[in-house]
Structure 1
Amino acid sequence: MLFLVGALLVLGVVLGAVAHVPVPVSVVAGLAIALWLALFAARERFSGHRRAGHLDHDRGGLR
């Protein structure tokens, strides 16, 4: 519960900061974050190593 309160507090601070900057700055920051998340997701998706206990769908079970 305390974590949720902290997360909502941080979200409020971030949204408050975004409300005071010009729209183009917010758009550029949003695009930068989206690009960073897309690169992270692609790197995780296509990484060569697999975690222990990860389902191997090609073999129909655990690795």
Structure 2
Amino acid sequence: MCGADTAARRTHHERHLMLFLVAALLLLGLMLGTVAHAPLSFTLVAAAVIGVWLAVFAVRERHGRRRETSS
């Protein structure tokens, strides 16, 4: 029973991860289309925001995986 619960939680987490990645890719596509018409300063700020967002995501994922394997 415990194994099924863990598998269900993992599947739920993977769905959220996939939705997050799809949203990130859509945002990236939107920003790339905008870059052609946007000033350089806006492009650099947007790139920095997306970079920080992805870095936070990577840290959270790494921290979450360590917690899962240690329990």
Corresponding residue number in structure 1 for 2:39: 22
TM-score if structure 1 supplies the norm length? Answer: 0.52
Q: CA deviation at 1:16?
A: 3.1
Q: CA deviation at 1:24?
A: 0.5
> Which runs of 4 or more aligned residues in structure 1 lie more than 3 Å from their structure 2 counterparts after TM superposition?
none
Q: Report the structure, 1 or 2, having the larger strand content.
A: 1
Paired residues, number:
43
TM-score if structure 2 supplies the norm length? Answer: 0.47
Tell which structure's C-alpha radius of gyration is larger: 1
What do residues 4-61 of structure 1 show as CA deviations (whole Å, max 9, x unaligned)? xxx8xx84x64332110100100000000000000000011012542xxx7x8xxxxx
Between 1 and 2, higher relative CO (CA 8 Å, sep ≥ 6) is seen in 2
Q: 2:63 aligns with which of 28, 35, 46?
A: 46
Amino acid across the alignment from 1:15: L
Q: Which runs of 5+ in 2 are unaligned?
A: 1-24
Superposition RMSD in Å = 2.8
What is the percentage of aligned positions where both structures have the same residue?
40
